[in-house]
Amino acid sequence: MSKDREKSIPRSRFSRFGRVARMAGGVAAGMIGEGAKQLAKGNRPKVSDLVLTPNNAKRVAKQLAAMRGAAMKVGQLLSMESAEFLPPELADILAQLRDKAFTMPRSQLEQALVNAYGDKWLEKFKHFDYIPLAAASIGQVHRATTIDNKNIVLKIQYPGIAESIDSDVDNIATLLRVSRLLPAQVEITDLLNDAKEQLHEEADYELELQHLASFSKLLENDSRFIVPAAYPELSCKTILAMDYVEGASVEKIDGIRPSEVDQIMSNLFDLMLHELFDLRAMQTDPNFANYLYQTDTGKIVLLDFGATRSFTKKFSTDYKRLIRGVLEEDEEKLLDAADRIGYVAKKASSDYQKFLINIFNIALESFKENSVYDFEDAKLSERLAALTEEAYEFKEFWQTPPTNVIYLHRKLGGMFLLATRLGAQVNVHQMVKKHIKTLN
């Protein structure tokens, strides 16, 4: 990580609110400047045209990235869950937040370590690497060597992030509404309330330690995957210590055969279905960096269990019903299952029902086709995005999807994007079929 990606994290509520205020001021100034340009050309621009400029969207994204924490996460969630309903200018810029974050300067990093371990924190390690391996919305990752020569990584939480979650979410939501960067018809209240709950869980590294231990146990007999061992004695609420495991980010591996790529994605799809239907616990963060691949062993390393979501047996069963409706091309079963998982479906207009059916048929198309499915050729994202204009015709029925569906589709969408990125071809139908046949 270079110095130009370092930026001190604002800790107090006042300083973080100040960031939001500056963001709003920048948007307003951008509107005035753009308006003057348009008037000089003899145009009479609409307010929405002045707000939704690329420069204004960049101002918002830059400040969210600098604040990290909930502020950055709201941008990430919106870019993932509501992209089809956002103006392209905002959706494109917010999408950048999935991969970019500033890092802490060394002074702030050391203070975080002192807060967790005490003044003599360095004595706990034979070596500590001050240059982070990675940085995200909640924290950053550093390599270290223990006194007994074990290679580990420390996931270190940004200071003040946990305490700022609720106010950050509220402030950013208000900014997006007041500035009209978020269209009025996009209702995100439920999404934001759940984001607060999920973010509090993600910021609790002691809870993530439990998830890490659980998945390590659940997958201990599955030779396809590696879950890093945790170090409870070096972990606390703001630091998570685990084994350093070699591997390359799965989206960046070069020189492997297409058949090997297909096997990687086949294993990941199989794991996702196992999580949903058998374990009923799923790591829902779709970040590609959470999957490392070992070319020498063929194993997939699973990282980051902060966004682990538990599903009830009812939800798991109802989603099986939804998939069965798609597989059997039974629209009545599909709509009934959509109602069961929380959509407004059977009481909606027939046109909206057709719209929902179309969305699910496209989104779950790979489940339906009993053949090798070419994700790159299918262009799922483009086809779903093409439904954007049609979605605006159903403002009275459109809703933020039910919470469990959001996190499931977040993972599902991530798998589809990764399969597309890798050019994978997988028969997902055969994997789904073995789970659906258990449905009464």
Catalytic residues: 285
Q: Where are the alpha helices (DSSP H) in 86-223?
A: 88-95, 106-117, 161-178, 189-202, 205-218
> Is the dihedral angle over the CA atoms 343, 383, 381, 375 positive or is it negative?
positive
Pairing of strands 300-302, 225-226: parallel
CA 220 from chain centre, in angstroms, equals 26
The answer to whether 287 touches 414, Cβ cutoff 8 Å, is yes
Q: Which two tokens stand for residue 143?
A: 């390599």
The answer to whether 228 touches 219, Cβ cutoff 8 Å, is no
Sheet holding 225-226, edge to edge: 225-226, 300-302, 291-293, 248-249
**CA gap 249, 226 in Å, rounded:** 14
Q: Which two tokens stand for residue 108?
A: 């702030």
**CA gap 65, 77 in Å, rounded:** 13
CA 107 from chain centre, in angstroms, equals 29
**CA gap 26, 56 in Å, rounded:** 7
